[in-house]
Structure 1
Amino acid sequence: MSARAHRSDAVANRDRIVAEARAVLGESPGAAGELRLHLIAKAAGVGQGTLYRHFPTREHLLAEVYRLELGELVDAVPALLAGHPPVEALARWLQRLVDYARVKRGVVAAIEATAWQDLHAGNHGRLDEALTTLLEAGAATGELREDVTAADVILLLGALSRVPEPGWDARAGTLVAVILDGLRRR
């Protein structure tokens, strides 16, 4: 087997591992602390050694899921703005954020505090930039208030961390709708 094919296999294995972990967390966000790595490896079709080569601990795997979720959330902004008016793009992005927040809750609960601070510090700026882009686009069309910053919205979105899991689907959507209504220019 060539070195290139070997690297390609390694990347494919890593991607399958992360995809399986994301699937498990998406089905049960509270499962992050009890994520069974051997079951993830089995579902991904790899051995435990392969999983541990890529992710030496559960925290490493959860951090990668978090980074991937955040990257997709941030990277969605240009396409949303290209395909929708700014307020609709923001609404769609906020819905994606709700899905992201659901995964993040489980990840935050499972990762040690110091590891979480490092992970958050290295990625939070990207989230601010994405939200700022959406808010500025809406303000430029006159649809959104100009006096609200990304930091303000993120503080408001912090309420999502207090939504209990049993009521998540109903309440998270309502909270985001209230925030979006508050962002509209009157």
Structure 2
Amino acid sequence: MSGATRARPLRADAQANYERLLTQARLAFAEAGTGASLEDIARRAGVGTGTFYRHFPSREALLEAVLHDRFDQLTARADELAAATTPEAALTRWLGEFLEATSVYRGLTATLTQTLRDPSTALHAACVALRAAGSALLTAAQRAGDIRSDLTALELFTLVGGLAWSCEQASAAVPGGVTVDRLLALTLDGLRATDTARRSD
């Protein structure tokens, strides 16, 4: 449970309501995307809207609770990969896992983009941490001479965000049978440092 969502332990009945809400939220988001009806989630969990909003005062708070563990693991994963493999391989593998995590629900990519611009949202801190983790991997790959040095973190995440949107729309494939893994590979091919790019540094 996220500390941002709940500061102290719940009574047993309240904890049961909380867990049912999270379970139904995951199901609803998988079916209808992040815009799923909050009232429907409460109904499916067998609680009233008042109980729902006591646990989750906003849609972003609910999403933070649903995604908290997944995003924390992905943030930590950047350090694991950096210690275990080459900078380029670490960046490549982490971006693939980032794509998988951020396209799990339809509409999530747009939601995450919005939360990065709004520090008041419950998801903001998790998004900032993810961005910082990926930026560190990018910097390491650039210092190793593997990725072109003129690429900024903002540009990288804008490109990957576009791939995540494609993944959302077609469940890991875009029209024509082109997989998102293939699109990521092509994108990274275009971002690798060339001899010309190295001479210009």
TM-score bucket of the superposed structures, by smaller chain: 0.5 to 0.7
Aligned length: 175
8 Å contact kept, 1:77–1:134: yes
8 Å contact kept, 1:37–1:58: no
In structure 2, relative to structure 1, the CA distance for the partners of 1:114 and 1:167 (3 Å cut) is: closer
Structure 2 spans left out of the alignment, 5+ residues? 1-7, 175-179, 195-201
Following superposition, the deviation at residue 126 of structure 1 comes to 2.5
Match of 1:74? 75
Aligned partner of 1:149 among 147, 152, 162: 152
Match of 2:177? none
Query: C-alpha distance in 1, partners of 2:70/2:164?
Result: 17
Normalising by the residue count of structure 1, what TM-score does the alignment of the two structures yield?
0.67
Normalising by the residue count of structure 2, what TM-score does the alignment of the two structures yield?
0.63
Match of 1:175? 183
More helix by share: 1
**2:61 matches 1:60:** yes
In structure 2, relative to structure 1, the CA distance for the partners of 1:108 and 1:129 (3 Å cut) is: closer
Match of 2:161? 158
The 5 Å alignment of 1:13-162 reads 14=18, 17-18=21-22, 20-22=24-26, 24-25=28-29, 27-28=30-31, 30-35=32-37, 36-38=40-42, 41=45, 47-48=47-48, 51-65=52-66, 69-103=70-104, 105-107=106-108, 117=118, 118-119=120-121, 122-160=125-163, 162=165
In structure 2, relative to structure 1, the CA distance for the partners of 1:6 and 1:98 (3 Å cut) is: closer
For 2:187, the aligned partner's letter is I
Query: C-alpha distance in 2, partners of 1:34/1:8?
Result: 28
For 2:97, the aligned partner's letter is R
Structure 1 spans left out of the alignment, 5+ residues? none
Following superposition, the deviation at residue 78 of structure 1 comes to 0.6
8 Å contact kept, 2:34–2:105: no
Query: C-alpha distance in 2, partners of 1:97/1:11?
Result: 30
Q: Percent identity?
A: 32
Q: CA RMSD in A?
A: 3.8
